[in-house]
Structure 1
């Protein structure tokens, strides 16, 4: 029986660069940073969602063969992966805070469909959509 999702994996080109981005610019916390030969298990978590970790993994063996790892690296760099979604209370305020920390946005906050959203990418090219929901539940 399933207990829920614990880690969502994300391919990155450089784990140290990704770690700095997610911790220093987005405010995530390091959960696990362990080395096993050339494979590094690196996870971070949002401070308000401690049960879910975001794995910052390089596309490499033992998970992938060399050709697949190269292909995945290229796909990530082109921003071709589906965006991740970050829910926020105030999209415009979060946008200003994150821009001040050096996050580069591909779309400034816009109102549409009853929400305010903005888009940014991490240093590896992974897309994020930041959404402030204004819909009543």
Structure 2
């Protein structure tokens, strides 16, 4: 069986999204390739990923009002993204210093330590470390 390589996150601006992922989450820019839509309009193939590897995110600039309407709420208000941490305190502190908005203080659960935060667009994430 293959592995999950990419998930798409619809954003309003490529460069702003790249900057946020690099600064707030310490991701690396994997690819940034100019491209064209099926009808010839310019777009980019932009991929960011955690420096440690794993599933990457394809940043897709909204194309049309229907996609723009979903920016920030791609999962209907549920947590849709889970960022695993090997050093929770360090990652949490770095993210706070970078301006990440957490919805709660870190808490212990049956599956590990977790705190919910929102990305630049309002999508909900968990910063999570397994027990």
> Under a length normalisation based on structure 1, what TM-score does the superposition of the two structures give?
0.78
Give 1:114 shift: 4.3
The structure carrying a bigger helix percent of its residues is 1
Task: Give the aligned length.
Answer: 124
Matched, 1:58 2:55: no
Query: Map of 1:1-137 to 2, 5 A cutoff?
Result: 3-37=2-36, 38-49=42-53, 52-60=55-63, 66=64, 70-78=65-73, 80=76, 82=78, 83-134=80-131
What is the SS of the residue equivalent to 1:89?
Answer: coil
Corresponding residue SS for 2:58 = strand
Q: Distance in 1 between matches of 2:15 and 2:35?
A: 16
**Higher strand fraction (1 or 2):** 2
**Structure 1 unaligned residues grouped into runs of 5+:** 61-65
List 4+ stretches of structure 1 deviating above 4 A. none
Q: Cα RMSD over matched residues?
A: 2.0
Unaligned 5+ runs, structure 2: 37-41
Deviation at 1:11, TM superposition (A): 1.0
Secondary structure of 1:95's match?
Answer: helix
